[in-house]
Amino acid sequence: MSNRNSPLPDLTSAYRRLVGTPGEGKKKLNWRVWVLGVFGIVMMLSLTQQFAKLETSDLTSSGTWLIALAWSVPILMAGLGGIFSERVGIVNIGLEGMLVLGTFFGALGTLLYGPWWGMVIAAIAGAFGGLLLAVATVTFNVDHIIAGVAINIMAPGIARFMASIHFPERGGSITQSPTIVGVSTFNIPFLAGGSIGGWRSPDMLGAIEDWDWFFVSDLAGIMRGFSSGMSWLGLVAILIVPAATLLLWKTAFGLRLRSCGENPHAADSLGVNVYKYKYYGVTIGGALAGFGGGFLAVQLSGLYREGQTLSKGFIGLATMIFGNWRPVGTALGGLLFGFAETLRLRDPNAAHGLLLLVGLSLAILMLRALYKRKTRVAGWLGLATAGMLYWYLSTDSVPNQLPKITPFIAVLVMLIFATQRLRMPAADGMRYRKGEGG
């Protein structure tokens, strides 16, 4: 892939190095890229924090990042659901609907049997949505997007109807469940002061965060965000990321799943039951999305509310593309959106500070373009940087709608500039009939 005219850093190949080439040809992780990238990002956040101190104190605080991590879970799960579905070649626009099913059934299950069973029921409900999509697209060959849209129309209908039966009599309403309680949370001992058998260990990262040193405390804050206040369900979600990677790239099952999305006729000619694996992939994908929906209702919101998914299924889909159809990349994308969402919830003023962050990023990209002698690109980036800085300096706040739509703008910008580097499964979205073609 050439990187002509692209003003974005080479994210995808950075991911490639991060994730390695798929399968057995896996190269060693390039730790330098990894570490450099993380430090770069933290440094930028640090700088912004420094300049915009009066407006926000939250860009690098552990509180922000623990919430960001939690709020990234539904998006991440939707994205992983998308990966499983699209890796077997089924485009899954119905993730939003599966998420909705997850929120409702997660809440209902929690009311009836407690949060753990609630999450199981949420995953089953999502899997049911996936199964429905598989029946339509695999068995009946319906266009994938049409089938997904149908699920997105139907899922809220089911949720609403069932809610109107179940929730009013339990102290909720047609559009809302009574409050529910999720599972408990924990801190990691020593790092974030978690307790071992009743003994409270020292909170090392917390202490460093309190020093309030430039960069060092910021880094500690972010790391503490990842090691404290985590729910056990969140831990399950995070562990699913490496598990999915291993499953897809290291096992026979995973290879067969992926082969259905790359060249189903080849798989079929080798005796792989393509229909079966497509069903597996889409159903697993649905279960993951259902889990994500359940997490949103049970753990994050403490209730089911109609429309609470707020397009997280679609954002998940976008995150999957952002992550180039790979779990780790998708997880990073999910974290980004979780972060944006958190700032909106916690600290609306931070959005104004973020203008500075965007301005700084643009400036760095401009320098990079200059270094690569792409003057035209650099010119545009310079203009954008100036505009962003002018916006930052000439105003005290941004419309409160802006943070809400930031993730969507981010995805759009990402797609506009990085489409050429993305590689979707070769047979993604295509209808497949056994025996046809080849």
Partner 1 sequence: MGKKLMYVLAAPLIAIGVAMVVTSVVLLIAGADPLSAYSNMWEFGTRLETLIETLNRATPLYLSGIAVAIGFRMNLFNIGVEGQYILAAIIAAKVGAEINLPPVLHVTVIILTAMAVGAFWSGLAGFLKVSRNVHEVVSTIMLNAIAVAGITSYLLSIWDVPDESLDTALKSIPESGWMPSLNGWVEVFTRDIKRVELWGFILVAIAVGIAYHVLINRTRIGFDLRASGENASAAEASGTDPKRMIITAMVIGGAVAGLVGLPELLGNSHAYNLRFTQQLGFAGIAVALLGRNHAVGVAIGALVFGWLDRASGVLEVRGDAPREIVAIMQGVIILAAVVAYAVVERKRRAEEASAAAAATAAAIPIAQVGDDEGGAS
Partner 2 sequence: MASAVVLEGITKRFPGVIANDGVNLDVADGEIHAICGENGAGKSTLMKILYGMQPADEGRMLIHGEEVKFASPKEAIALGIGMVHQHFMLADNLSVLENVVLGAEPTKWGAINFPEARTRILAIGETYGLKVGTRDLVETLEIGERQRLEIIKVLFRGARILILDEPTAVLVPQEVEELFRNMRELKAQGHTIIFIDHKLDEVLEIADTITVIRAGKTIDTVKPEDVTARDLAELMVGSELPTPETRESTVTDHVVIEAIDATANDDAGSPKLRGVSLKVHKGEILGIAGVEGNGQAELVEAIIGMRPLTGGVISLEGERMKGWGVRKRREAGIGYIPEDRTKRGLLSGFPLWENAMLGHQSMEPYVKNAFWIQSDDAREQTKTVVEQFDVRTPGVEVAAHALSGGNQQKLIVGKEMSADLVALIAAHPTRGIDVGAQAAVWEELRHARAAGLAVILISADLEELIGLSDRLVVILRGDLVAELDPASVTPRDLGSYMTGASVQERST
Residues forming contacts to partner 2 in the complex (CB under 8 A) are 2, 4, 21-25, 246, 250-252, 255-256, 258-259, 262-263, 265-273, 423, 425-426, 435, 438
| Partner from partner 1, partner 2, none contacting 151, C-beta within 5 to 8 A by type | partner 1
- Nearest alpha-carbon partner for 356 in 379, 326, 390: 390
Smallest separation, CB 236 to partner 2 (Å) = 20
| Partner from partner 2, partner 1, none contacting 272, C-beta within 5 to 8 A by type | partner 2
Q: Is 44 exposed, middle or buried (0-12, 13-18, 19+ CB in 10 A)?
A: middle
Return the amino acid letter for 230. M
Q: Which stretch binds partner 1 (CB under 8 A): 16-24, 48-56, 154-162, 183-191?
A: 154-162
Q: Is the Cβ of residue 197 or residue 438 nearer to partner 2 in the bound state?
A: 438
Which region, left, alpha or beta, applies to residue 271 given φ > 0 means left and ψ of -120 to 50 means alpha?
Answer: left
Q: Is the Cβ of residue 154 or residue 266 nearer to partner 1 in the bound state?
A: 154
Smallest separation, CB 164 to partner 1 (Å) = 4
Query: CA 310 from chain center: how many Å?
Result: 14
Smallest separation, CB 425 to partner 2 (Å) = 7
| Partner from partner 2, partner 1, none contacting 222, C-beta within 5 to 8 A by type | none
DSSP secondary structure, 10-32, as one string: -HHHHHHHHH-SSGGGPPPP-HH
C-alpha distances (whole Å) from 266 to each of 101, 237, 279, 281, 427 are 35, 33, 18, 18, 11
Binding string, residues 164-193; x marks residues near partner 1 by CB under 8 A: xx--------x-------------------
- Nearest alpha-carbon partner for 312 in 127, 10, 81, 154: 81
Contact of 100 with 262, CB cutoff 8 Å: no
| Partner from partner 2, partner 1, none contacting 147, C-beta within 5 to 8 A by type | partner 1
DSSP assignment letter at 349: T
Which residues face 185 on adjacent strands? 231
Q: Is the Cβ of residue 196 or residue 252 nearer to partner 2 in the bound state?
A: 252
| Site for partner 1, residues 234 to 263, rule: CB under 8 A | none
- From the list 2, 184, 394, 401, which residue makes contact with partner 1 (rule: CB under 8 A)? 401
C-alpha distances (whole Å) from 57 to each of 63, 112, 212, 291, 313 are 11, 41, 11, 33, 30
Q: Is the Cβ of residue 210 or residue 436 nearer to partner 2 in the bound state?
A: 436
> Number of C-alpha atoms within 13 angstroms, CB side, residue 359?
19
Structure tokens at 273: 């039951």
- From the list 80, 90, 147, 355, which residue makes contact with partner 1 (rule: CB under 8 A)? 147
Smallest separation, CB 269 to partner 2 (Å) = 5
- From the list 239, 383, 415, 426, which residue makes contact with partner 1 (rule: CB under 8 A)? 415
Smallest separation, CB 112 to partner 2 (Å) = 35
| Partner from partner 1, partner 2, none contacting 250, C-beta within 5 to 8 A by type | partner 2
Please count the other Cβ atoms lying within 10 Å of the Cβ belonging to residue 174.
Answer: 13
Smallest separation, CB 75 to partner 1 (Å) = 14
| Partner from partner 2, partner 1, none contacting 321, C-beta within 5 to 8 A by type | partner 1
Smallest separation, CB 274 to partner 2 (Å) = 11
Contact of 103 with 264, CB cutoff 8 Å: no
DSSP assignment letter at 206: H
- From the list 11, 136, 284, 336, which residue makes contact with partner 1 (rule: CB under 8 A)? 136
Q: What are φ and ψ of residue 105, in 5° steps?
A: -70, -30
Residue burial 206-218, b: 16+ Cβ < 10 Å; e: rest:
bebbeeeeebebb
d(CA 137, CA 433): 11
d(CA 238, CA 232): 10
d(CA 311, CA 300): 16
| Site for partner 1, residues 318 to 377, rule: CB under 8 A | 318, 321
Contact of 119 with 77, CB cutoff 8 Å: no
Rg (CA), the chain: 22
| Partner from partner 1, partner 2, none contacting 246, C-beta within 5 to 8 A by type | partner 2
Is residue 409 involved in binding partner 1 (CB under 8 A)? yes
Is residue 430 involved in binding partner 1 (CB under 8 A)? no
Q: Is the Cβ of residue 256 or residue 344 nearer to partner 2 in the bound state?
A: 256
Q: Is the Cβ of residue 233 or residue 377 nearer to partner 1 in the bound state?
A: 377
Residues counted in the chain: 438
- From the list 3, 57, 160, 255, which residue makes contact with partner 1 (rule: CB under 8 A)? 160
d(CA 323, CA 329): 4
**Which residues make up the interface to partner 1 (CB under 8 A)?**
93, 132, 135-136, 140-143, 145-147, 149-158, 160-161, 163-165, 174, 311, 314, 317-318, 321, 399, 401-402, 404-405, 408-409, 411-412, 415-417, 419-420, 433, 435-438
